[in-house]
Chain A
Amino acid sequence: MTALARSLVPTLRTVGLAAGLPVLLVLGWGLATQGSQSFYFPGPATVARTFVDTWFGPAFVQDVLPSLGRFGAGVALSIVIGIVAGTAIGTTPWLRELLEPMLEFFRAVPPVALVPVLMLLLGIGDSMKLAVIVSGCVWPVLLNTVEGVRGVDPVLTETSRSYRVHGALALRYVILPAASPRIMAGIRLCLSIGLILMVISEMFAASSGLGYRLVYFQRSFMIAEMWSGIVLLGLIGVVVATIFGFVDRRVLHWYHGLREVARG
């Protein structure tokens, strides 16, 4: 075997293993819907065609971009609020004890139950949708930041204290880096909750957005369009998860390296 072939075989095997099942599933879906005229389950070719027709065009600007914009803004706001408030709460013991029961309670309220409340308070505009996303997304970041800041290795804090590293300097170079694995775990949860809330907030009384479209297609029995919307949401979820994985590896490369060494 030549060197090229030898390096090619493992690559091919990896590609085969990664692509095999998805290809089989799509083929199975195609075969299952081939002869049938099932109303609810169109074939993959129909869905793919509808996907292009529905989303590549004005709908992208009208529905997809505003949704993604609200999602991005809501998540960014949640991350900033969560980290700032979480650091303050985590580094101040009396504040933490004061707020802990309330935080436990608010975290436990299903964010969607707040949609009607926020609709009452803020109407049905963009601010309501943003508030819905933030009200659900902020908790995982906040609570994970609190835990992360609290759980900083005491040796680390005492060393930095004996070197007189205080205030902002300690925050920037000791506390936040040490808390970053927990904070990133919180952000991962924040992203998936944010996506759900983006859709839900648009299902109530909206006139644009992915959630609105999805409900509209379902109510008008535009089945293939509805499927294409589900596929689009899935794709957005996958893309967001991939981007997060990339950023996570960048930000926490030292941490993942440590874990691998520890595992041996």
Chain B
Amino acid sequence: MSWTTSRGRVLGLLGILGFLATWEVAARSGLVNQTYLPAATTTLARLGRELGTPQFWAALGDTLITWSVGLAIAFLAAVALGAVVGLVPFLERATHSTVEFLRPIPSVAIIPLAVLIAGLSREAALMVVVYAPFWQVFVQVLHGVADVDPVARDTARSYRLGRYERLRHLVLPTALPYVITGLRLAASVALILTITAELVIGNPGLGRQIEVYRAAPDAAGLYALVLVTGGLGVLVNLATRMLERRLLFWHPSVRKEKAL
């Protein structure tokens, strides 16, 4: 990332300022009607006021709960099932076609079903939030478990490592980078789906608040909340990348990055 150099930081800051300036000018000059595109300063001021309201923090909390619960369910289920399926060759071959069929089904396709079964609730949102990240992690676990170096496996066998030791010292280190990558992808997909579900289903959270402001119509509030969702996404990315560096400090891909 270019943020590590001072030149990169200055240019990046210039880029942000340039974007805000363009936005401001486009709105103030009447290029775009201000009812549809409030000026950058108006939106940022509104964002400041929004941060002072309890409703905003309640919505943010709801979003974060749905997101974390959904991600946790998807991740744990995917790791458990993926490890079992990945370690048993017969299961891997028998489930392959089914997995390849279920995986590309867009998760929004189950929104109507979720609403019918669970109503306009967090449970309905969770059904949507769990689906896509589950497959993302599941496939990564399969790849990770399959990637064990044959030489290392034969070595372990000739040293008569037991089942547990092979899992601990052979499969886990090989699969961990894949699993963490899966978690990183899943975390951002789960966030996107959480907000999508709130927008479409209408369970409490930032997404529903966005829809409320759109219907009001309250353009400044709408833009302010969209900025918040973007910020949330950036935070999730940063956090998962940090987790990756922490857990995989021993892995060549992370060590190489540090040396550069």
List residues of A whose CB falls within 8 A of some B CB.
17-22, 25, 40, 94, 96-102, 104-117, 119-121, 192, 195-196, 199-200, 203, 211, 214-215, 217-218, 221, 223, 226-227, 229-230, 233-234, 237-238, 240-241
* Contacting pair B195 A113 (CB below 8 A): yes
Give A21 to B97 CA distance when docked, in angstroms.
8
* Contacting pair B214 A108 (CB below 8 A): no
B61 within 8 A of A: no
Interface range, B side? 35 or more
Name 15 interchain pairs, CB-CB below 8 A, sorted by A. Answer: A17-B97, A18-B97, A97-B7, A97-B11, A99-B15, A101-B15, A104-B237, A108-B188, A108-B236, A110-B191, A112-B195, A117-B222, A203-B111, A226-B116, A234-B102
Residues of B within 8 Å of A102, CB to CB, are: 15-16, 19
Contact of A17 with B12 at beta-carbon distance under 8 Å, contacts A97-B7, A113-B207, A230-B109 already known? no
B14 within 8 A of A: yes
A-contact bits for B198-234, CB 8 A (1 contact / 0 none) = 0110000001001101100101001101100111111
Contact of A119 with B214 at beta-carbon distance under 8 Å, contacts A104-B234, A226-B113 already known? yes
* Contacting pair B210 A116 (CB below 8 A): yes
B1 within 8 A of A: yes
Give A96 to B1 CA distance when docked, in angstroms.
10
* Contacting pair A111 B192 (CB below 8 A): yes
B158 within 8 A of A: no
Contact of A120 with B36 at beta-carbon distance under 8 Å, contacts A17-B94, A96-B2, A233-B105 already known? yes
* Contacting pair B234 A108 (CB below 8 A): yes
* Contacting pair A120 B199 (CB below 8 A): no
Residues of B within 8 Å of A97, CB to CB, are: 2, 7-8, 11-12, 15
